[in-house]
Amino acid sequence: YTGYAGVLASEIFKGYNLVVSAGMMGFTEPNVHRMVDENKEKMEANGAKIFYHLHAFGGLGRAVKQRFGPIQVDEIIANVLRLFSQGVKVCLEISCMACDAGLIKAGEPVIAIGGSGGGADSATVLLPSNTHRFFDTKVLEVICKPRVG
């Protein structure tokens, strides 16, 4: 969440269309973003695009759950993907969100890298889709993920 993994990726993938998923402003508290300004500057200097967003597998469903109690469909999908790993869930989620924002194209192969709050531990090759067409997403390959147990 500090942007450390994004800085590393921006150094490794300099010259590529790198989109760094930064989460949303106000996730932990109003008007605060967890990314360190210095890391943001380094990523931008390396040509990375930083994408601030609401989580596709959370958002409104989470608000309904907090207010009214029942679990929502988006949270069920997120929890099923966490059976593989939190990072694999993040790979699919950020790919849908980047597709929704027009930063990557639906149906064209991408490498998605995700983690569980403290860096990156999972990577996939996938054909992304827009969030409302989530089931059109195709995971072609899991490059790596942590052992879950």
What's the domain count of the chain? 2
Instruction: Please give the structure tokens belonging to residue 110.
Output: 């991408």
- Using a 10 angstrom Cβ sphere, with 0-12 exposed, 13-18 middle and 19 or more buried, the burial of residue 94 is buried
pTM of the model: 0.70
One domain, residues 35 and 102: no
* pLDDT by position in tens, the chain (length 149): 788 999 999 999 999 999 998 877 767 776 777 888 999 999 999 999 998 887 777 666 777 777 777 877 888 889 889 999 999 999 999 999 999 888 999 999 999 999 987 789 999 999 999 998 999 999 999 999 999 77
DSSP 35: S
pLDDT of residue 21: 86
- Give the relative orientation of helices 73-81 and 86-100 as an angle to the nearest 10 degrees: 130
What single-letter amino acid sits at 120?
Answer: A
Residue 7 domain boundaries: 1-52
One domain, residues 46 and 116: no
One domain, residues 17 and 86: no
pLDDT of residue 73: 84
Nearest-angstrom CA–CA distance, 79 and 47: 33
One domain, residues 132 and 148: yes
One domain, residues 25 and 81: no
One domain, residues 46 and 61: no
pLDDT of residue 92: 97
One domain, residues 94 and 109: yes
